């Protein structure tokens, strides 16, 4: 069940993120490329973990990838690269939505890791 859930959540996040990454200024191409790389690497790991018997190492790498992407999104927000006016905390709606998606993915990955440790 959680295999399909993480795949669906990540696909939804990718659909949202692709447009946001493409809207980043051209001078921040390296940051955009790093975000895109982490996003697609996580997608690859999600596919790999479905077919492996020992999933824990892949799930750990997936967790690292998602956390790295979350840090890059935070960096882009702190550098005011997302379009839209910031709220009173200085965060944009894009940051709240995207970060929320990544936090939700992290929780699912954590649950999968705990389940894998028990079995």
Angle of helix 2-22 versus helix 93-118 axis, rounded to 10: 150
Give the tokens for residue 46: 């999600």
| Euclidean distance between CA atoms 33 and 12, whole angstroms | 19
| Euclidean distance between CA atoms 12 and 42, whole angstroms | 13
- The total of structural domains in the chain comes to 1
Per-residue pLDDT of 13-34, as tens digits, reads 999 999 999 999 999 999 999 9
| Euclidean distance between CA atoms 45 and 51, whole angstroms | 10
25: three-class secondary structure by DSSP = coil
CA dihedral 50, 51, 56, 61 (to 10 degrees): -70
Per mean pLDDT, which range of 9-23, 30-44, 81-95, 103-117 is the poorest? Answer: 81-95
- DSSP-based helix, strand, coil % in the chain, nearest 5: 80, 0, 20
- 4 pLDDT more than 90: no
- Note down the domain range covering 22: 2-118
Higher pLDDT, 45 or 118: 45
CATH of the domain at 63: 1.20.1440.60
pTM of the complete model beyond 0.75: yes
Per-residue pLDDT of 106-116, as tens digits, reads 999 999 999 88
């Amino acid at each position: 069940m959680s295999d399909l859930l993480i795949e669906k959540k990540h696909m939804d996040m990718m659909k949202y993120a692709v447009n946001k990454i493409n809207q980043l200024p051209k001078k921040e191409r390296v940051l955009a490329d790093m975000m895109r790389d982490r996003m697609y690497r996580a997608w690859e790991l999600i596919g790999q973990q479905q077919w492996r018997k020992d999933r824990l190492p892949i799930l750990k790498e997936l967790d690292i990838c998602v956390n790295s992407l979350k840090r890059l999104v935070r960096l882009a927000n702190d550098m005011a690269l997302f379009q839209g006016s910031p709220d009173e905390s200085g965060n944009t709606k894009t940051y709240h939505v995207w970060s929320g998606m990544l936090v939700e993915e992290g929780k699912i990955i954590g649950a999968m890791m705990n389940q894998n440790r028990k079995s």
